[in-house]
Structure 1
Amino acid sequence: MKINSMLAQQLDALLTDEHNNVANMANASALLMQELPDVSWTGFYTYVDDKNELILGPFQGKVACVHIKNGSGVCGTAFDKNETIRVENVNDFPGHIACDSNSKSEIVIPIEKDGIRFGVLDIDAPIFDRFSKEDQEMLEEFVKVFESHITIDN
């Protein structure tokens, strides 16, 4: 895999030879919080199949919602549709789950490995329209690198 963005290269170096998903999510969310300007929350939700919900994983930022039903809010919708959702104004998103009232915009990228749906990367910002198409492409590449380091327990 050719890695274009500096952030994705940093992630690849950080996760190489580490096989613990929790540790990798923790370091990935810390890297994003450290490197991305104007964000207030970076983190992961992992999918729990028998409950059909996303559950809070490692993150950086204020306390967060723990359980999100598949198809609910931005995270659940992105996971359910298996596509990135970029929201300019979270107040305009039908069914938005307001974990932090200071959150104004959001991007959520679904994560999967070998056809197994893992969860989502969620990033919030305290300003409207924070995430551009270029940000989306860079973060989707970041997720692809993260996916290459996921360990799936069968």
Structure 2
Amino acid sequence: MSGAGEDGAVDGRERDRDGAGRARNARPRDGLGRPLAHGAEGVARQPEGVVRSPRETVVEAQRLLDAGMPFHAHEVFEDAWKSGPEADAALWRGLAQLAVGLTHAARGNAVGGARLLRRGAGALAGQGNAYGMDVPGLTGWARELAGRVEAGERIDAAAEAPRLAGPV
């Protein structure tokens, strides 16, 4: 049986830790957030804890979605959910779930992708448009995509990227 020892080592290897000593996986990641081998060329990670205005959040998330990087867009939504007003938390959390659902779908995980797309759609249901986003349209997009994912359709994250808002 393997596990972490008192020194934080796993199977004899030191665990990656951030400056505060929290466990962090420092392995490079691909555009869908999958870990790559140490030393491999990866995609730059989104910095954590960035406080953005709602408009900046939408613009940055859209840029990442359009680039086929929904995992990274989810991190932008997660920052908004954790740093913004409590009244907006459900909106940003629902959008983060849509981005993670698209991530799983593009990775070929049909069950997880469909489940998270539907969970995000459920979290957004009943919310009107917010910050220039067509929230009901995003809910419909997520449910339609979930059905296609369950039917076995291969998903390309960039091609399926939703349009969050009108021209910015």
**Structure with more strand by fraction:** 1
Identify the structure with bigger relative contact order (alpha carbons < 8 Å, sequence gap 6+).
1
Task: Mark yes or no: TM-score above 0.5.
Answer: no
**Structure with more helix by fraction:** 2
